[in-house]
């Protein structure tokens, strides 16, 4: 019995609607196309006109959104209802960025005082570090923050710290260590002094193998240099597991909690952002949170046709389920935003890389695409060739800014046109992808066919005046809502990640069985025997 969205009239009509074949013809046939397909949300302007959609396609997509009751799902998410059904939890990241005076309900309980209580503690701690009231064990100022975490405890804070480079606090630097490869922590500590280093150990469960292994090495580094008592001055923890934090040696006063209704990949505005707040200051952090809230309220209150997040989600559905696009490239034309594609990789692929629906049935259609990308213009000298002329159609999200974030550059030499070149390069790439270059347009000569660009490669262009803390928050929240809306339509849970857990379990099993190779499959058994021929110590060296 077919019971999912694929059984609906709207889905059937979406699959059957005539597919536009030429972006150029779509523009020629409709002089109002740009006006109709350019949307604003917060400080963001989003041009959807270079996608392979027309009025008929949009109508069928809106019917799909209506069939899936997307509007109600957005409200339930933002109002703290249980939407993570496989784990019986709310997905309350929207509550983390509400104003202090607003109620924040999770399953009927107002948690606003908890959220803002932790934020107040974070601000106080940050002020103490910045002012020198909080010192290291020897009385030196803490001038380097090392965040130890992985996944959502690393990707969000590290991405945002780089993105907000012009807001970095003078005299303080942040580093982020995530990989269990000893080289990561070794490089992170290579030029640091224990007396001036503060570690932020960030782990939702405080049981993550990579994070705890690195944290223990960092603890030994501090103890060897400064003694056991120095742990209290040089370590703080961010976690939901207070007992595990205590067992590690970090006291309750040095722990900043969050809650199991905050998913790791959605946790940037929680205490997981402590390292970020230390690095950019509490004002910038709060501006980022406020930007997220602007998008939350706009997505909640705007009808689907004018709702940028809903329309971006629907175009993603169209590209994936009708046009058959396997991946999507995200190309920020901003060096500071260079880690944003990696952040979106986790957000999208961990959320919507699912093949089982909420009712337990197999998904009979494609779900989340592969997300990848690099900043422009570097990408133009790497993989953009394949997007233009390759045999696979890869939709692109371009992200750009009218002005550089640095005040110094904005008032700098009038002949410094680099930012203008950057922005125009983005527009040129989007134009070339859409309209291509025909054989008639190629100058006569040998190999003319090789210089033809087919065009009709869809793209979305997201622009804002400049990359401010508020705009960064708006970008993060926009894509969070895009991912959620797509998950609602596909009938999957965007808030669990059981695929991550199995790899962890198998790694633990191998750690126990590796000495004897018992229980391993033949391939793993063979690789373990090869490994044992080289491994000499606890870290393989």
Q: Of the candidates 255, 283, 311, which is a domain's last residue?
A: 283
Residue 541 has pLDDT above 50, yes or no: no
Same domain? For 313 and 261 the reply is: no
Tell me: pLDDT of 32 over 80: yes
* Neighbour count for residue 10 (Cβ, 10 Å): 18
Residues 485 and 514 occupy one common structural domain? no
Q: Is residue 85 part of a domain?
A: no
- Tell me: pLDDT of 537 over 90: no
| pLDDT at position 114 | 96
Return the HEC string of 117-157.
HHHHHHHHHHHHHHHCCCECCCCCECCEEEEECCHHHCHHH
My answer on whether 512 and 464 are in the same domain is no
Together in a domain, 131 and 250: yes
Residue 80 resides in a domain: no
- Do 476 and 506 have their domain in common? no
Cβ proximity of 202 and 153 under 8 Å = yes
Both 363 and 485 in one domain: the answer is yes
Query: Residue 539: its pLDDT value, please?
Result: 54
The position carrying tokens 């309900």 is 105
- Residues of the domain holding 156: 92-283
DSSP per-residue string spanning 106-119: ETTEE-HHHHHHHH
Please tell me the predicted confidence (pLDDT) of residue 274.
99
The yes-or-no verdict on residue 508 having pLDDT over 50 is yes
Closest listed residue to residue 61, CA positions, set 417, 486, 532: 486
| Single residue among 256, 283, 310 that ends a domain in this structure | 283
Is residue 515 scored above 60 in pLDDT? Answer: no
Contact 351/495 with Cβ under 8 angstroms? Answer: yes
Quick: pLDDT tens for 316-355: 999 999 999 999 999 999 999 999 999 999 999 999 999 9
| Percent of the chain topping pLDDT 70 | 95
Q: How far apart are CA 387 and CA 170, in angstroms?
A: 41
- 184 and 37 part of one domain: no
Q: Is residue 87 part of a domain?
A: no
Domain boundary among 228, 254, 283: 283
* Residue 293 belongs to a domain: no
163 belongs to a structural domain: yes
Structural domains in the chain (count): 3
- pLDDT tens profile 139-191: 999 999 999 999 999 999 999 999 999 999 999 999 999 999 999 999 999 99
Say which CATH number the domain at 145 has. Answer: 3.40.50.10490
**Residue that the structure tokens 């056991």 belong to:** 228
Distance CA 289, CA 281 (A): 13
Residue 517 has pLDDT above 90, yes or no: no
Give catalytic residue positions: 350, 381, 504
**149 lies in the same domain as 241:** yes
pLDDT band with cut points at 50, 70 and 90 for residue 1: very low
CB 265 within 8 A of CB 351: yes
**Residues 320 and 413 both lie in one domain:** yes
pTM: 0.95
- Give residue-wise pLDDT tens across range 259-278: 999 999 999 999 999 999 99
- Same structural domain, 117 and 265: yes
Residue indicated by tokens 């998410």: 77
Look up residue 309 and give its two tokens. Answer: 């997040």
What does the pLDDT read at residue 2?
Answer: 54
Average pLDDT over residues 420-445: 91
Instruction: For residues 372 and 365, give the distance between their C-alpha atoms in angstroms, rounded to a whole number.
Output: 21
Claim to verify: residue 329 and residue 477 sit in the same structural domain = yes
- 215 and 343, same domain (yes or no): no
110 has which bridge partners?
105
What is the overall mean pLDDT for the chain? 94
């Amino acid at each position: 019995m077919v019971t999912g969205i694929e059984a609906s009239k709207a889905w059937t009509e979406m699959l059957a609607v005539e597919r536009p074949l030429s972006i150029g013809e779509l523009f020629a046939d409709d002089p109002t196309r740009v006006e109709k397909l350019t949307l604003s949300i917060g400080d963001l302007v989003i041009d959807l006109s270079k996608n392979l959609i027309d009025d008929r396609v949009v109508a069928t997509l809106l019917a799909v959104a209506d069939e899936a009751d997307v509007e109600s799902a957005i409200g339930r998410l933002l109002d703290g209802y249980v939407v993570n059904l496989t784990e019986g939890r709310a997905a309350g990241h929207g509550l983390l960025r509400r104003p202090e005076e607003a109620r924040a309900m999770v399953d009927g309980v107002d948690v606003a005082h908890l959220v803002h209580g932790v934020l107040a503690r974070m601000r106080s701690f940050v002020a103490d570090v910045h002012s020198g009231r909080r010192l290291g064990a020897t009385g030196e100022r803490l001038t380097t923050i090392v965040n130890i975490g992985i996944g959502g405890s690393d990707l969000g804070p590290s991405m945002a710290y780089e993105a907000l480079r012009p807001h970095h606090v003078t005299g303080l630097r942040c580093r982020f260590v995530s990989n269990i490869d000893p080289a990561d922590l070794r490089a992170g500590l290579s030029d640091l002094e224990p007396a001036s280093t503060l570690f932020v150990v960030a782990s939702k469960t405080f049981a993550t193998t990579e994070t705890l292994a690195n944290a223990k090495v960092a603890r030994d580094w501090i103890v060897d240099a400064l003694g056991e008592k120095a742990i209290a001055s040089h370590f703080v923890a961010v976690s939901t597991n207070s007992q595990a934090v205590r067992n590690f040696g970090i006291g309750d006063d040095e722990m900043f909690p969050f809650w199991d209704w905050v998913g790791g990949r959605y946790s940037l505005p929680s205490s997981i952002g402590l390292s970020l707040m230390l690095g950019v200051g509490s004002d910038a952090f709060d501006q980022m949170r406020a930007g997220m809230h602007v998008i939350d309220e706009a997505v909640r209150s705007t009808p689907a046709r004018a709702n940028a997040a809903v329309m971006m989600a629907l175009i993603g559905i169209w590209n994936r389920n009708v046009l058959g696009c396997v991946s999507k490239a995200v190309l920020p034309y901003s060096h500071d935003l260079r880690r944003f594609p990696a952040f979106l990789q986790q957000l999208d692929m961990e959320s919507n890389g699912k093949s089982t629906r909420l009712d337990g049935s197999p998904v009979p259609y494609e779900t989340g695409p592969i997300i990848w990308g690099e900043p422009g213009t570097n990408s133009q000298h790497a993989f953009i060739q394949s997007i233009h002329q390759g045999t696979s159609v890869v939709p692109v999200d371009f992200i750009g800014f009218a002005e550089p974030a640095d005040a110094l550059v904005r008032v700098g030499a009038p002949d410094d046109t680099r930012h203008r070149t950057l922005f125009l390069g983005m527009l040129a790439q989007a134009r070339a992808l859409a309209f291509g270059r025909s054989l008639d347009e190629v100058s006569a000569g040998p190999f003319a066919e090789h210089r033809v660009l087919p065009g009709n490669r869809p793209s979305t262009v997201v622009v804002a005046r400049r990359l401010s803390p508020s705009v960064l928050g708006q970008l993060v929240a926009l894509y969070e809502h895009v991912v959620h809306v797509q998950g609602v339509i596909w009938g999957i849970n965007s808030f669990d990640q059981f695929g991550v857990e199995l790899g962890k379990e198998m790694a633990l099993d191998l750690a126990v069985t590796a000495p004897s190779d018992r229980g391993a499959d033949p391939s793993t058994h063979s690789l373990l025997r090869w490994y044992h021929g080289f491994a000499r110590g606890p870290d393989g060296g």
